[in-house]
Amino acid sequence: MTVNRTQIGIIGAGPAGLMLARLLMEQGISSVILEAKTRKYVENRIRAGVLESGTVDLLNRAKADYRLKVKGQIHEGLELSINGQRSRIDLKRYSKGKSVTIYGQTELTIDLINTHLKAGGEIVFDAQNVQPNNFNTLEPKLTYSKNNIDYQLDCDFIAGCDGFHGISRSKIPIKDQNIFERVYPYAWLGILAESPPPSNELIYATHKRGFALYSMRPPSLSRSYLQCSPSLDLNDWPDNRIWDELQIRLGSQIDSHVSQGKIREKGVTPMRSFVVEPLRYGNLFLAGDAAHIVPPTGAKGLNLAMSDIQYLADAFLDFYKNNSFTGINNYSDRALSRIWKTERFSWWMTSILHKTKNESSFDDRIRLTELEYLLSSEAAMRSFAENYVGLPF
């Protein structure tokens, strides 16, 4: 077995693991990322692309924002459609000048990988049978194999950034995990299409037929979603049905008709909220989807992972620069405080925009009244905008 040494062993080359490696490297702290998938697979995963200002700031710190500055679309507001009638929420006005940036997570991942490798960082793609070991001791280790050769990576700490189905959380004894979960009775039918969006800003829609979302992938692609059953059969949804349903739910307007185009991809996304506590077990730290899942309605998954990473990077920096355990000891509580606030907003936004199959007339009227109140109250819009553009990291 070949034995190597680094300071931080990172499991997972998604945005969370990549960002952690970048921030650490900029501070002179060494790390190695172990990724079970190939580089091609990682760079082609299609995900959301609404970035909070805190995420944009981290990309700048990571020196990986060169393409974002050119291709990112700054959105100062969004549209909300209620049974076909659209209204605009001015995010910049109600959040003290903040906004969000539209930039695909796929592109962000590519930027982080390229930046890290060009800077001399180490990413082991296609690492098989990655196993965290001894993380409840002062000598944690990661073992894995690559090209039929076994490796051992000795490190000071292990960061589990390997997603909801990764190995990291599964290695923590169940008795030491507090799990909180909600599974929603609906899902999203998502498409990526070669068509320009009908608006310069995102459109969130609630309709008697269900939820819809229209977003963009500049310059000529759109990313759209329709509320559907988790057991939906894609064969029952030909392209023309999808376009017709999007037009109905988003609302017909003369100057912003839904443009049809070639649909490149279709897929069904289940909806759940999930949090595990604590985020630290010995010298193993969970971050990103390994620690929590939010429904995609509020576009918080990637951004929540980035706040975890800032807190974790700060904790490691405090340890190596100041010989202090304060940041490490406080990481879980600090991250969970923001996680639960974000979970609350994602749950709320999901609940008021989605119509449940067995929803009573009373519940439906309360849901619609909540939306009407949002659009009629400056205080409500300030609260919405503050949460949507992102709470401070």
Task: Give catalytic residue positions.
Answer: 75, 204, 296, 300, 388
d(CA 103, CA 392): 20
Please answer whether residues 258 and 250 qualify as being in contact, where contact means their C-beta atoms are separated by less than 8 angstroms: yes
d(CA 141, CA 9): 8
Pairing, β 85-90 against β 77-82: antiparallel
What are the φ and ψ backbone dihedral angles of 144, each rounded to 5 degrees?
-165, 170
Please answer whether residues 71 and 104 qualify as being in contact, where contact means their C-beta atoms are separated by less than 8 angstroms: no
Burial of 308 (0-12, 13-18, 19+ CB in 10 A): buried
List, in sequence order, the alpha helices (H) in 126-227. 167-170
Please answer whether residues 99 and 45 qualify as being in contact, where contact means their C-beta atoms are separated by less than 8 angstroms: no
Q: Which amino acid is at 261?
A: G
200, two tokens: 């310069």
